[in-house]
Amino acid sequence: MIGFFRDIFFRSFKKHETEVHKLNYLFWECTSRCNLNCLHCGSDCSKDSSIADMPLADFLSALDTIPEKPGKITVVLTGGEPLLRADIEQCGREIRKRGMRWSMVSNGYLYDQQKHIALLNAGMGALTFSLDGMEASHNWLRNAKNSFSKVSAAIDLAVSTQRLNFDVVTCVNHRNLEELPAIYDYLIAKGVKAWRLFTIVPIGRAKENPDLFLTDAQFRQLMDFISEKRLLKTIDLKFSCEGYVGNYETKVRDTGFFCRAGINIGSILIDGSISACPNIDRTFAQGNIYRDNFYEIWQNGYQVFRDRSWTKTGQCETCRDYRDCGGNGMHYWHGNKANVLVCHRDKTTLSGKIACPKN
Partner 1 sequence: MTRNWKRNLIGGLSFTTMLFVFQACYGTPQDIGYDTLVEGKVKSKTTGLPIKGIKVFPTNGLQHQYTGEDGNFSFYCNTPGDVMLRFEDADSTQNGSYLPKDTLLTNLKDTIFIEVALEDK
Residues forming the site for partner 1 (CB under 8 A):
2, 5-6, 9-10, 12-13, 16-17, 20, 24-25, 27, 74, 76, 78, 96, 101-105, 113, 116-117, 120-128, 157, 160-167, 169, 194, 196, 198, 240-242, 254-256, 258, 260-261, 264-265, 277-279, 329, 331
Phi first, then psi, for residue 238 (nearest 5°) are -150, 160
When the beta carbons of 123 and 353 are compared against partner 1, the nearer one is 123
Least Cβ distance, residue 179 to partner 1 (angstroms):
21
When the beta carbons of 95 and 180 are compared against partner 1, the nearer one is 95
When the beta carbons of 256 and 352 are compared against partner 1, the nearer one is 256
When the beta carbons of 122 and 304 are compared against partner 1, the nearer one is 122
| Separation of alpha carbons 148 and 124, rounded Å | 23
Q: What is the dihedral sign for C-alpha 298, 301, 306, 312?
A: negative
Least Cβ distance, residue 38 to partner 1 (angstroms):
13
When the beta carbons of 126 and 134 are compared against partner 1, the nearer one is 126
Pairing label, strands 124-130, 165-172: parallel
Burial profile 128-155: b = 16 or more Cβ within 10 angstroms, e = fewer: bbbbbbeeebbbbbbebeebbebbbebb
When the beta carbons of 166 and 219 are compared against partner 1, the nearer one is 166
Least Cβ distance, residue 109 to partner 1 (angstroms):
17
| Separation of alpha carbons 130 and 137, rounded Å | 12
When the beta carbons of 282 and 358 are compared against partner 1, the nearer one is 282
Phi/psi-derived region of residue 339, left when phi > 0, alpha when psi is between -120 and 50, beta in every other case: beta
| Separation of alpha carbons 131 and 92, rounded Å | 24
| Separation of alpha carbons 132 and 140, rounded Å | 9
Least Cβ distance, residue 211 to partner 1 (angstroms):
21
Phi first, then psi, for residue 227 (nearest 5°) are -60, -45
Q: Evaluate the omega torsion of the peptide bond into residue 80 and state whether it is cis, within 30 degrees of 0.
A: yes
Least Cβ distance, residue 241 to partner 1 (angstroms):
5
Burial profile 175-191: b = 16 or more Cβ within 10 angstroms, e = fewer: bbbebbeebbebbeeee
89: Cβ contacts below 8 Å, ≥ 6 apart: 118, 119, 121, 122
Least Cβ distance, residue 258 to partner 1 (angstroms):
7
Least Cβ distance, residue 20 to partner 1 (angstroms):
5
Least Cβ distance, residue 354 to partner 1 (angstroms):
28
